[in-house]
Amino acid sequence: MSERVVEVHVGPGGEVVLRFRPRRLREVVPAQSRAHLRAAGREFLLGLRALLDRAIEEIEAAEREQAAPERRRIEVKEKPPQEA
């Protein structure tokens, strides 16, 4: 039985997991295709970085909102003039 180059697993929540066997890929995939796959992998990681940056920004915004003191309106009444 030959080893698969790519394994696909679908989890109970619908998530899809792809597993690539790099050693086997080098034997089967042409050099030009490997270069495209490497570039695609880089783009994927850049996209993941953007998602992580967004998630971090949301967490930091929530932390700033929680740390900000609550503002309340204080009513100031005028003091009646004093007699001399």
pLDDT class for 1, splitting at 50, 70, 90?
Answer: very low
Quick one: pLDDT at residue 3? 67
C-alpha triplet 63, 69, 72: angle, nearest 5°: 140
Q: Are 17 and 6 in contact (CB under 8 A)?
A: no
Q: Which of 41, 11, 40, 37 is nearest to 26 (CA)?
A: 37
Quick one: pLDDT at residue 61? 92
pLDDT in tens, 25-63: 677 788 898 899 889 989 999 999 999 999 999 999 999
pLDDT class for 2, splitting at 50, 70, 90?
Answer: low
